[in-house]
């Protein structure tokens, strides 16, 4: 989202020993997370963004509600390619892990892009990082964001707890009740109101937090 960063972390300090090996695996072995189907929704697959996603990404980003909430507008293929490359750099540097969320479709259509979840501001040895997400307009209201966020959260704690990660923050503006619902449904407890910081951030925000033991 456009907004605050509660963690204020810079680039990842490279981990050492076993942790360095774990970070190295993240760069070289693509992480794929599976989310089981529900009675009302197909299964989801989360995997790192790739250049083949650009056309679908550009299509999804035509949605004004999504543009309103994202800081890097994607209006054409060149923007889309830059955005995907930024996600790929995040995996390479080990401080930002963005996943395309795909919905399994029956038949030859294959999987369809329905969203994005991201773990960001990851720094070796630091206890806090942050999550973000969006869902394509055509897929909203079916629990895509909370289901994908649950998978991301489990993966984040499984992967980085040994390196000191203890809590994840989720921020949204006060005029985004849908995002507040995602936080509640995903057991990110409301922590506090963050004051507006105009002109960039005209509205107050909510900080929600989920801890490893939640």
CB of 65 to ligand COA, least distance (A): 5
> With respect to ligand COA, which residue has the nearer C-beta, 123 or 179?
179
CB of 163 to ligand COA, least distance (A): 26
CB of 119 to ligand COA, least distance (A): 14
| Three-state helix/strand/coil letters over the chain | CCCCCCCCCCCCCCCCHHHHHHHHHHHHCCCCEEECCCCCCCCEEEEECCHHHHHHHHHHCCCHHHHHHCCCCCCCHHHHHHHHHHHHHHHHHCCEEEEEEEEECCHHHCEEEEEEEEEECCCCCCCEEEEEEEECHHHCCCCHHHHHHHHHHHHHHHHHHHHCCCEEEEEEECCCHHHHHHHHHCCCEEEEEECCECCCECCCEEEEEEECCC
State which residue has the least CB distance to ligand COA.
141
Residues found near ligand COA in the complex (CB under 6 A):
1, 65-66, 69, 133-135, 140-146, 172, 176, 178-179, 181-182, 185
> With respect to ligand COA, which residue has the nearer C-beta, 15 or 60?
60
> With respect to ligand COA, which residue has the nearer C-beta, 26 or 33?
33
CB of 182 to ligand COA, least distance (A): 5
CB of 155 to ligand COA, least distance (A): 18
């Amino acid at each position: 989202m456009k907004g605050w960063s509660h963690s204020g972390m810079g680039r990842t300090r490279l981990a050492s020993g076993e942790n360095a090996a774990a970070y190295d695996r993240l760069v070289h072995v693509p992480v794929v997370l599976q989310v089981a189907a529900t009675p009302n929704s197909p299964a989801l697959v989360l995997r790192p963004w790739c250049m083949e996603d650009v056309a679908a990404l550009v299509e999804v980003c035509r949605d004004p509600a999504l543009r309103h909430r994202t800081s890097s507008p994607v209006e054409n293929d060149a923007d889309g390619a830059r955005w995907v490359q930024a996600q790929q750099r995040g995996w390479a540097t080990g401080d930002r892990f963005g996943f395309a969320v795909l919905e399994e479709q029956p038949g030859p259509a294959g999987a369809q892009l329905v969203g994005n979840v991201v773990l960001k501001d990851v720094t070796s040895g630091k206890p806090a990082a942050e999550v973000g997400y969006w869902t394509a307009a055509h897929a909203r209201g079916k629990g895509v964001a909370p289901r994908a966020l649950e998978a991301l959260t489990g993966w984040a704690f499984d992967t980085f707890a040994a390196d000191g990660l203890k809590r994840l923050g989720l921020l949204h503006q006060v005029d985004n009740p849908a995002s507040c619902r995602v936080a509640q449904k995903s057991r990110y407890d409301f922590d506090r109101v963050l004051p507006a910081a105009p002109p960039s951030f005209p509205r107050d925000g909510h900080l929600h937090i989920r801890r490893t033991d939640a």
